[in-house]
Amino acid sequence: MVNRRCRPPATMVVSSAYGEAMAQLSGRQLAELVDPSLNALGVKYMLDPETGAIGKAAGYPRGFPFYMAGRGGVLGDVDPDVIYAAFMFFDKELVTSAWNQGIAVEGPGPASRRYAGAADAWAVANMKPSADLPRFTELARKIVDGVDSAGLTLFAGLRALGLPSGEVERAYRLATYLRELRGCVHMHAVRAQGLTALQAMLASSHGERMAGLHGYQPPYPDCSHLVAKRERAEALTDELMGDIYDAVLTGGERAEFHELVRGESSPLGQ
């Protein structure tokens, strides 16, 4: 433990100023600071080959079927158009094909539970218990439980899955729920700017690459004139997420959550 009385006065002033600044951290600022890290963390299990191996072992075809059925299965046995609406950024033909192939294996409910289990397996393999992890879990759960789910369909479906009992599994699952929360909010922000999913992707950096990864085929339209709208959609997403953080967390909790996600000793390993 550091003996604070041995610190030079200048260090104490800087530390105090930093602490005061963090205590004044707004929800909007918190969103800008932590959401990119939570997004990067929450997607890791989806991209991990081990998740694909779990699907393959259960009989899912290669590619998107396990992803579509696993992530969208929380919505039940629905028409592919519902999944397309909930996922938004994927090409509709890809969604339809992958969803139909995916739910044919074991149905949407089992698929969603298996996919959530893949997230838990990733957490066990890649995260470690720590003294700060329970506090991250406590604050993350406060956010997840405190959100009014109106209009946030996929997030609501995932939240209804509940949480596992293991320490690292529970913390990671909450990180994935927070990622889905922002994703749902972002969809509203994109539509509010009058953008289609394809336009929003093509107006971003690496736009054509992202469009291809989401199943869209070239040639792609020139969307360079829509960059400002896409930037406004990003800003609106931060604003709306900030409103959520402001409503659910106190100023001190916002500062603490920032440190738990982005601090040098973050239990998330960011």
Tens of pLDDT, residue by residue over 31-72, are 999 999 999 999 999 999 999 999 999 999 999 999 999 999
Return the structure tokens found at 243: 């409103």
Compute the distance between CA of residue 189 and CA of residue 242 in angstroms, rounded to an integer: 13
Half-sphere exposure of 171 (CA within 13 A, CB side): 24
pLDDT in tens, 10-42: 333 334 444 555 668 999 999 999 999 999 999
pLDDT in tens, 105-151: 999 999 999 999 999 999 999 999 999 999 999 999 999 999 999 99
Stated pTM of the model: 0.91
Residue 91: left (phi > 0), alpha (psi -120 to 50), or beta?
Answer: beta
Mean pLDDT over 184-189 rounds to 98
Q: Mean pLDDT across the chain, nearest whole number?
A: 92
Q: What confidence score (pLDDT) does residue 24 get?
A: 86
How many residues comprise the chain?
Answer: 270
Compute the distance between CA of residue 148 and CA of residue 152 in angstroms, rounded to an integer: 8
